[in-house]
Amino acid sequence: MTTTRLTRYDRSMLRLMNDRRSMPLYATAARRRSVVAVHLMLTAAIGALMACASFADGTPVGALVVMAVLLLPWMIATGAINGATRGLLELRERALDERQSVERARVQARAHRVMTLLLAAAAACLLITHVAGGHSLKTYAAPVLVAVLAVHWLMPLWVAGLMVQDEPAEDDDLAA
């Protein structure tokens, strides 16, 4: 950590992000990948329900109820990824040590590269379908932009969840 004093908020977030009670959710690399995959699928499901709600005639109460129900497991998965990364992306820079600062920069750089490719693919798909089919640019531009914004917001979290290393095993010989 830097020499800057931590605020009460920084200390409480640091304590929260280093709470190991939920560690069984993300103790191994396979579990972390599973949590990231579940989070990604829940995000896609919520996004698809939002798109259905925006294209539906009338008030899509069913879609809104299902979205509200899916938010709880989505929040739990978000917390699990943040716990696995020990708050790498949630903590302020002054609450991170040098290794964590470097890791945050690596995660953000990789997420930026992936997002650049996704943005290029989304733009290409919209333009190709517009040229081939006509009105797709007017129809799908807003939902695609909202989806890309959500992915842009969450990509660093997913990348961090996939890049985090296993905790070192406690050495019983050193403890004795």
The per-residue pLDDT for range 150-167, each reduced to its tens digit, is 999 999 999 999 999 877
The rounded mean pLDDT for the chain is 87
CB within 8 Å of 159: residues ≥ 6 apart: 107, 110, 111, 114
What's the full length of the chain, in residues? 176
The per-residue pLDDT for range 35-54, each reduced to its tens digit, is 999 999 999 999 999 888 88
Is pLDDT above 90 for 143? Answer: no
The per-residue pLDDT for range 92-139, each reduced to its tens digit, is 998 988 999 999 999 999 999 999 999 999 888 888 887 887 776 777
pLDDT at residue number 169: 65
CB within 8 Å of 157: residues ≥ 6 apart: 39, 78, 81, 82, 89
Is pLDDT above 90 for 171? Answer: no
pLDDT at residue number 65: 93
